[in-house]
Amino acid sequence: MGEELKKKNFSNINVKIKKAKLTEKAIYLIEKKGIEVDEAFQTYGLQISPFSYPRIYRKYKEKGLEGIIDTRGGKRVEKVTPSIKDFIILQKSKNKKLTAKQIRKKVWEEYDVQLHIRSISNILRDKGLSTGKGRPKKEIEEVAIDHAGGFLLKGALICMGLVKVIVDRIRIRADEIEKNGDKSFKWMSVISASRKVLSRKIETLLYMPIFQMERIWHFKTVYPRDGLGVLSGSGLPYKYHTMDNFLRELPRLDIDKILSRDLARAYIEVFNLKFETKEEQTFYIDCHKKVLWTKKNVPKGLHATRNKILKCLDVYFIHDCNGMPILPWTRPGDSHLVNEIMPIIEELEKSVGKEIVKLVIFDREGVSLALFREFTERGKRFVTILKTNQYDSEDDFIFEKGSKWRYVTIKTAKGKKRFNIKEGTKILVEQESGKKYEVRVILAKDLGTGKMPVFITNIIKSEEPDCTKIVKKYIKRWFQENSFKQMKPGLYLDTNHGSNGVALKENRVIKRKVKKLEEEIRAKTNAIISAESFIERRLDSIKRKKTTMNKKVLQLENKLKNINAKMLTEINVNERAYLLKRQEGMHLEESEFIKYYESVISKWQSDINRKQSYIDKKRNEIKDITNKLSKIDQKEILYEIDSRKDHIMTNLEVALNNADLFLKKNFFPPEYKNADFKAIRDILYKQDGFIKESKDEISVTLKHYRQELDHQMLAEYVVNKINAAEIITEEGKRLRMEVL
């Protein structure tokens, strides 16, 4: 099989040749069939990185099968025999102070074998006999770094314990995998990574928005400066392939949803939310559309900002009463708020372990009678806005006798808003089932804009007599939504981090389209049947009218004949004048009678013509719909995006946002409480400076703000608060900061 193989005495030569032949088959699938590298190698049970494939293929082209046989290793004589191993353990057990170097000398004297110190250290460590004494760590001299202000967020994350929560979840899952002996995960480095390495990589992902890095690709194209490595604790920033592989491995652990619950629980503890008051039991639910750039056929949805139907993911957020996002919920782009409200509430309550959601506020996309009934049955309350197509005017509502418009002023984050409000009720009817549901309504005429939103709720008057408070709760959502929009540019919530699609057995989108078109055909067919029935009735009516008219005309003509006969024989002048007058009257009656019947028949004929045109129109529409149906490829495969990677990154973005909120709440002056992340990032987190690290302290110095006195004062204020908090890192080092 070649000179190189002959030189080495392999004990597993057959295994190596078999693996090379399987690799050759995988190469055939890739080059001839166009199959992806990962999929091709996995088909034959091989675990080979896609990054190694160009090297493997090059060797195969140069030398064929022989070029891809693994020639590493070979049969070697084992230096550390069981007897030598026992001797090493015995020597260390007798004298704990013996070093690996001293034991090596004893082994050489006893067995005439030279061992490496590391081999001896590994044996001692495995048996728990290592002294663990290493080289003393040198103090790092003060060095200049970019984004030194990022240590403010690092301090907040340490106080909140968020990195620990994430690493704990990864380690729990990794331990489960190792315990179950699942070999399909064996190749993943995240399984064997230490807590320190996991913390550094998680922090690297967390801090990306500070360095204006939207996606992992920016580790390659917009490579960060040294500040990211120093901030995460890794020294130099990680390379693209390292972070890309790490982020590819995380979703395979299937921890995205349970991680959301872990972090939600952490936010609740850190921000000391007790859920004892009605205010704390109020939550807001919003949906953010995240556009997907993929060629695969994935579900689509209406992107309100762009006003287009686009391939996207729906990311739902449940916020607390102060607008802090607590838990994200990622769904396909064709999801609907009506179907997701209850699951996200259940997910939040699952994280806390008890029912905490009493009132939910959401937009008009959630208007559904079935959902309203479920809220009422579960003892929960909602506030939303009625859709504009569900009412025309004030007359569509029921008001109590003597009910009048009332002027109110509502304070908001952006000033005062003036309304005229009026309270009433409305009966909503479900189209399909005909079931009814009564809601409490509050009409609110905005005196500034002239608009009149209609707020609806199942909060009864005995629970909240003052309807103004209900309006205030919903209006608060508008300004929370604005605050949420400010997160998008700074934290890159619009960025999609994964587009791997999973083929579904059933194409639900095609199924919905076909069902909708078939329902349209049925509706139009029924309309045609109804119109044809109308035409038949009209034709029958025309026939009866003509018969009646002919009878009437015949009767009048017979009477006229009698009068004409009498006039021929009548001599009396007065009698002839009377008969002549009757004759004229009958002619007039006949003329008016015929005119009336002809007008009625003409009108009915017009109705028939209109209905016939209507039928022709509906038949053409059915023809168009049938053509659409015939063009639909019912075998088209629908893919659903594997959103686990994206959901993990969304969790990290929310964690960074909440760390920023934690800083502003506990360490910032009150006037900066509502400042958005991007503004604070540009003022503080991006500020360059210096760092000096010793064995018990990390000292960070921010550069002086030469022209912005307000920024200098803000930085000094925050730094003093950070120092007063006595923040200690996981390595036991105190974080100390100052501003030049």
Looking at the structure, tell me whether residues 308 and 430 fall in a common domain: yes
Looking at the structure, tell me whether residues 487 and 622 fall in a common domain: no
308 vs 3: CA distance, rounded Å: 65
Q: Give the list of residues 6+ apart from residue 354 with CB closer than 8 angstroms, or none.
A: none
Q: What pLDDT is stored for residue 417 in this prediction?
A: 84
Q: Is residue 57 assigned to a domain? A: yes
Q: What pLDDT is stored for residue 73 in this prediction?
A: 59
- pLDDT grade for 140, boundaries at 50, 70 and 90: low
Run of H or E residues at 291: strand 282-291
Kindly provide the residue ranges of all beta strands, DSSP E only, lying in 334-462, ordered along the sequence. 359-361, 381-385, 406-412, 415-429, 436-446, 454-457
Query: Is pLDDT at 660 greater than 80 in this prediction?
Result: yes
- Tell me, what amino acid is at 89? I
Give per-residue pLDDT as tens, 249-264.
Answer: 999 999 999 999 999 9
Give the burial string for 330-352 (b: 16+ CB within 10 Å, else e): bbbbbbebeebbbebbebbeebb
503 vs 496: CA distance, rounded Å: 19
Query: Which residue do the tokens 């550094």 mark?
Result: 200
Structural domain boundaries, residue 102? 82-126
C-alpha 542: how far from chain center: 63
Q: Residues 150, 225: contact at Cβ < 8 Å?
A: no
Q: Is the dihedral of CA 500, 505, 508, 510 positive or negative?
A: positive
Among the listed residues 401, 421, 426, the one whose alpha carbon sits nearest the alpha carbon of residue 469: 421
Q: Is residue 637 assigned to a domain? A: no
Among the listed residues 610, 618, 607, 594, the one whose alpha carbon sits nearest the alpha carbon of residue 539: 607
Give per-residue pLDDT as tens, 271-325.
Answer: 988 888 888 899 999 888 888 888 888 888 888 777 888 888 999 999 988 888 9
360 vs 282: CA distance, rounded Å: 6
Q: What pLDDT is stored for residue 413 in this prediction?
A: 64
Q: What pLDDT is stored for residue 77 in this prediction?
A: 46
116 vs 599: CA distance, rounded Å: 117
Query: Is pLDDT at 154 greater than 80 in this prediction?
Result: yes
C-alpha 447: how far from chain center: 36
Q: Kindly report the CA angle at 403 between 399 and 407, in degrees rounded to 5?
A: 120
Q: What pLDDT is stored for residue 112 in this prediction?
A: 72
**Range 170-184 average pLDDT:** 87
Measured in residues, the chain has a length of 740
Segments in 570-697 forming alpha helices (H): 573-631, 644-666, 677-680
Q: Residues 246, 234: contact at Cβ < 8 Å?
A: no
Looking at the structure, tell me whether residues 440 and 303 fall in a common domain: yes
Give per-residue pLDDT as tens, 417-433.
Answer: 899 999 999 998 887 77
At 693, give phi and psi (nearest 5°). Answer: -120, 130
472 vs 413: CA distance, rounded Å: 12
- pLDDT grade for 133, boundaries at 50, 70 and 90: low
Residue 713 token pair: 């004062």
Where does residue 652 rank: exposed (0-12), middle (13-18), buried (19+ CB within 10 A)?
A: buried
Q: What pLDDT is stored for residue 161 in this prediction?
A: 93
Neighbours of 533 (CB within 10 A): 11
Looking at the structure, tell me whether residues 460 and 352 fall in a common domain: yes
Q: What pLDDT is stored for residue 484 in this prediction?
A: 60
Looking at the structure, tell me whether residues 273 and 413 fall in a common domain: yes
Q: Is residue 579 assigned to a domain? A: yes
Give per-residue pLDDT as tens, 373-391.
Answer: 999 999 999 999 998 888 8
Among the listed residues 138, 124, 5, the one whose alpha carbon sits nearest the alpha carbon of residue 63: 5
30 vs 108: CA distance, rounded Å: 53
Looking at the structure, tell me whether residues 407 and 544 fall in a common domain: no
Q: Kindly report the CA angle at 502 between 501 and 503, in degrees rounded to 5?
A: 115
Given 574, 605, 631, the domain boundary residue is 631
Q: What pLDDT is stored for residue 158 in this prediction?
A: 93
3-state secondary structure (DSSP) of residue 435: coil
Looking at the structure, tell me whether residues 211 and 239 fall in a common domain: yes
Query: Is pLDDT at 129 greater than 70 in this prediction?
Result: yes
Neighbours of 124 (CB within 10 A): 21
Give per-residue pLDDT as tens, 181-240.
Answer: 877 787 888 988 889 999 999 999 999 999 988 888 888 876 667 888 899 988 888 888
Looking at the structure, tell me whether residues 379 and 299 fall in a common domain: yes
Give the burial string for 81-91 (b: 16+ CB within 10 Å, else e): eeebeebbbeb
Looking at the structure, tell me whether residues 436 and 478 fall in a common domain: yes
Q: Is residue 74 assigned to a domain? A: no
Kindly provide the residue ranges of all beta strands, DSSP E only, lying in 320-435, ordered along the sequence. 325-332, 359-361, 381-385, 406-412, 415-429
- pLDDT grade for 642, boundaries at 50, 70 and 90: confident
- Give me the number of domains the chain comprises: 5
Given 598, 631, 664, the domain boundary residue is 631
- Per-residue CA distances from 403 to 400, 439, 440, 445, 567 (Å): 5, 17, 14, 15, 77
Q: Looking at 145-154, 179-188, 518-527, 706-715, which range is the least confident one?
A: 179-188
Q: Kindly report the CA angle at 434 between 369 and 619, in degrees rounded to 5?
A: 110
Q: Is residue 420 assigned to a domain? A: yes
Where does residue 218 rank: exposed (0-12), middle (13-18), buried (19+ CB within 10 A)?
A: middle
Query: Is pLDDT at 166 greater than 70 in this prediction?
Result: yes
Q: Looking at 179-183, 330-334, 357-361, 455-459, which range is the least confident one?
A: 179-183
Query: Is pLDDT at 347 greater than 90 in this prediction?
Result: yes
Q: Is residue 73 assigned to a domain? A: no
Where does residue 307 rank: exposed (0-12), middle (13-18), buried (19+ CB within 10 A)?
A: exposed
Q: Using DSSP bridges, classify how beta strands 359-361 and 381-385 pair: parallel, antiparallel or unpaired.
A: parallel
Q: Is residue 660 assigned to a domain? A: yes
Q: Residues 471, 419: contact at Cβ < 8 Å?
A: yes
For the chain, give the longest Cα–Cα distance. Answer: 171
Query: Which residue do the tokens 């095609």 mark?
Result: 510
**Range 476-482 average pLDDT:** 67
Query: Does the pTM of the predicted model rise above 0.85?
Result: no
Given 585, 607, 631, the domain boundary residue is 631
- Per-residue CA distances from 659 to 280, 671, 683 (Å): 20, 18, 16
Residue 634 token pair: 């019912």
Looking up residue 357, the CATH number of its domain turns out to be 3.90.350.10
268 vs 318: CA distance, rounded Å: 13
Q: Is residue 134 assigned to a domain? A: no
Residue 340 token pair: 């997701």
Among the listed residues 362, 350, 271, the one whose alpha carbon sits nearest the alpha carbon of residue 316: 362
- Per-residue CA distances from 558 to 552, 555, 566, 582, 707 (Å): 10, 5, 13, 13, 114
Looking at the structure, tell me whether residues 528 and 663 fall in a common domain: no
- pLDDT grade for 479, boundaries at 50, 70 and 90: low
Q: Residues 52, 187: contact at Cβ < 8 Å?
A: no
% of the chain surpassing 70 pLDDT = 94
Query: Is pLDDT at 33 greater than 80 in this prediction?
Result: no
Question: For the chain, what is the mean pLDDT?
Answer: 86
Q: What pLDDT is stored for residue 262 in this prediction?
A: 94
At 421, give phi and psi (nearest 5°). Answer: -120, 150
Q: Using DSSP bridges, classify how beta strands 697-702 and 734-739 pair: parallel, antiparallel or unpaired.
A: parallel
Among the listed residues 82, 88, 123, 130, the one whose alpha carbon sits nearest the alpha carbon of residue 109: 88
Looking at the structure, tell me whether residues 346 and 490 fall in a common domain: yes
50 vs 38: CA distance, rounded Å: 6
Looking at the structure, tell me whether residues 554 and 664 fall in a common domain: no
- Per-residue CA distances from 521 to 510, 571, 610, 629, 631 (Å): 16, 76, 21, 10, 15
